[in-house]
Homo-oligomer: A and B are copies of this chain.
Amino acid sequence: MNPGPSRPKAAPTVREVAELAGVSPMTVSRTLSGGKNVRREVQQRVMDAVATLGYHRNENARSIRPGHRSDLIGVAITNLANPYYGHFALGVEEVAAQHGRRMLLGNTGEDVAREKQLVSDFVGRQVEGLIVVPTGGAADHLKGTRLGDIPLVLASRTVRGLKADTVLIDDVNGAYESTKRILEAGHTRIGFLGNVISVATASRRYEGFCQALAEFGIESDPDLVTRGQQDAAAARKAMEALLALDDPPTAVFSTNNRNTIGALEAIGQRRLRDPKLSPPTLIAFDDVELAHLMQVPLLVVSHDPRELGAQAARMLFERLDHPERAKRARLIELPVVVGDILNQHRAKRRRAAGARPLP
């Protein structure tokens, strides 16, 4: 009597629906694809059968038929736990949804091997396109031929020697403009908190930073430049070291939100021990929730990572919808907004006192 631990029943197929509705599989198929050339009454019978059986059309079977799209895109990002990429992924997802596509999402954890694996798997699953935040390692697996000519969009970072559609933030200029503004405010000793150099973004932001320094005739002091911090904990240590210098920087450029968090933690902790600490002005590339309330002089270089994701997706779908257009890889650089210097009570006073802090 007892059917026992019911084996996971195989999903119902068109045939079963057809049988229950007393029609041919073809009529079911037609009904499900809009109902052209099917009597209303028959459609109803079919839909009823669909409902009672809990039938769902097998999209995989559907997608192997010639000319049919998979409606799937593959997205590989480096770190989902970073709110930045959460917003990014949301931007991608929203635009994909508008275009009727679903998103296969994988996390690379900055590991090239994993990236390779993911991309290969995505291709095997017939994704129509790929959006990748590259880890920055070797990237042969992203070459067009390896991808079976599936459109690829790189986001947030580039890869040396790889031609592909790319959406970047205007890193160089953002770093340049913000550093310049800090220099104009009178700072001369400016620290740098960077992430790993192999990440193109890091280099580009460092480049803009140096450009501004050079323009003001300031040599970048190697003691003030730290690089390679990939998470907040590392950034915090780096910032602590900067604060502990005999002659600490009066301003610090932070490459990304992880470094900003770490820097603010270092400052916050240090302030507990030394409440009169006059914290350095922080140039924060990427906005961070609550940062502006931290009572630390702050210049935010912000942009919307969600828009970055959306833009990457738009770029991808444009290529999918118009494969006939020019094949040349395109590069888009999204502008950043350099804000005002917030919480700069001390800085104001210093400037009011005239001249530069260090003669």
Contact = CB atoms under 8 A, between A and B. Distances in A.
Contacts of A137: none
A181 interface: no
A149 B294 CA distance: 50
Contact of A11 (B11, B81, B89, B148): B148
A61 to B, nearest CB: 4
A81 B289 CA distance: 12
B81 A147 contact: no
A86 B81 contact: yes
B60 A64 contact: yes
Given A103-B104, A106-B102, A293-B294, A54 B8 contact: no
Contacts of A120: 56
A70 B121 CA distance: 12
Contacts of A85: 86
A122 to B, nearest CB: 8
B93 A86 contact: no
Nearest to A144: B54
Number of copies: 2
Interface in A111-125: 120-121, 123-125
A261 interface: yes
A22 interface: no
Contacts of A232: 289
A327 interface: yes
A256 to B, nearest CB: 14
Interface of A: 5-12, 54-61, 63-64, 66, 70, 72, 79-83, 85-87, 89-90, 93-94, 97, 102-107, 120-121, 123-126, 145-149, 232, 261, 264-265, 268-269, 288-295, 306, 323-325, 327
25 contacts: A5-B324, A7-B323, A8-B323, A54-B148, A56-B123, A57-B124, A58-B64, A60-B63, A64-B64, A79-B90, A80-B89, A81-B90, A85-B86, A89-B105, A90-B107, A94-B107, A103-B105, A105-B105, A261-B290, A264-B293, A269-B293, A290-B291, A290-B294, A293-B294, A294-B294
Given A79-B90, A90-B107, A97-B107, 15 more contacts: A10-B66, A11-B148, A54-B148, A58-B64, A58-B126, A60-B60, A80-B93, A81-B83, A81-B90, A89-B105, A102-B104, A102-B106, A105-B105, A264-B293, A290-B291
